[in-house]
Amino acid sequence: METPIFLLRYDTECPDSEIMSGFLEAVIKRHKAGEIPITLFCTGETLNKRRHEFHTFWDEVRDSGYIDVQDHSYSHIGVGYEESRALAVIQADYQHSFAVHEDVFGKRPIGVALCGVSDSGRRLNGLDEIEKSRQELAMLAYLGIKIMPARLTSIGRGQFCSYAEMGYSDIMGYPSAESDTEWLWNKDPKTALSYVKKVVDEYWELGQHGSLIMHDWCQWQFGSDKELGLVQKIADYIREKGFRLATVSDCYHNETLWRDHI
């Protein structure tokens, strides 16, 4: 296998510009200047309420090659749950979000991170588990999504894959696990760092690609400082181990990574 990939991301979902004051500037410093690839999966609501900030941010980073922006629904709505909302409601939510993305970033997203929600019943093991979740996947494919978390029941923890088995050979599945709501929220950043190091070691020993799910609000409120210093330490450890950091778009364009993996 070629060099294993590690995906770092911020699910960017805090619409409150006061709480998040300084975050985007820190992202520019840490990720653009520091050359640490990152994907920001942004909710439409967050972009809508902080349009100017995100527009300015994107102007500054769009050509860097280190920062990718993709979607996280408009209102943080559940997909892949046993009792998710009506399909038309979910579709309208995503369409609304994509329109805001086009407005703020001048481009339509081709990738999504699915939302963890508590109002839609049991989270399914995969999008192929029930008819409703298959319809949700078909809807996202119809809206032009090419980059999705690897959530097929047959894929387990989720490595890079193609959704070909479900009829979407042009959709890439990417690894998505280890949320900072588990390892950083209300915890000491030092404890968080040692936990993350163990996770990184495990991926390496298994010869797997790795991922960490981070959130804008969680890193900003619970990280070690207001400079994303914890993320720097995490990125350094991942690289020392031997992984290559990448954005989801980098991975999508590297077809040998996922085309043959079902």
Which positions touch Zn ion (CB under 5 A)?
11, 13, 115
* CA distances from residue 123 to 33, 84, 93, 207 in whole angstroms, order as listed: 38, 9, 19, 27
CB 255 within 8 Å of CB 157 = no
CB 219 within 8 Å of CB 36 = no
Residue 13 vs 53, nearer CB to Zn ion? 13
Residue 68 vs 257, nearer CB to Zn ion? 68
Is 61 strand, coil or helix? helix
Residue 24 vs 166, nearer CB to Zn ion? 24
Residue 234 identity (one-letter amino acid): I
Q: Least Å distance between CB 78 and Zn ion?
A: 10
Q: Least Å distance between CB 84 and Zn ion?
A: 15
Q: Least Å distance between CB 80 and Zn ion?
A: 13
Q: Least Å distance between CB 11 and Zn ion?
A: 4
Token couple for 81: 């749950």
What is the CB neighbour count within 10 angstroms for residue 250? 18
Q: Give the single-character DSSP code of 172.
A: E
β-bridge pairing 161-163 and 168-174: antiparallel
Nearest residue to the partner Zn ion, using Cβ: 11
* CA distances from residue 221 to 45, 155, 181 in whole angstroms, order as listed: 20, 33, 12
Residue 112 vs 166, nearer CB to Zn ion? 112
CA distance 47 to 57: 11
Q: Least Å distance between CB 215 and Zn ion?
A: 7
Q: Least Å distance between CB 112 and Zn ion?
A: 11
Residue 41 vs 243, nearer CB to Zn ion? 41
Instruction: Find all residues with CB under 8 Å of 159, minimum gap 6, and list them.
Output: 150, 175, 208, 209, 261
Residue 127 vs 166, nearer CB to Zn ion? 127
Q: Least Å distance between CB 214 and Zn ion?
A: 11
* CA distances from residue 61 to 7, 38, 39, 101 in whole angstroms, order as listed: 18, 11, 12, 15
Q: Least Å distance between CB 115 and Zn ion?
A: 4
CB 8 within 8 Å of CB 231 = yes
Residue 162 vs 176, nearer CB to Zn ion? 176
Residue 13 vs 68, nearer CB to Zn ion? 13
What is the CB neighbour count within 10 angstroms for residue 96? 16
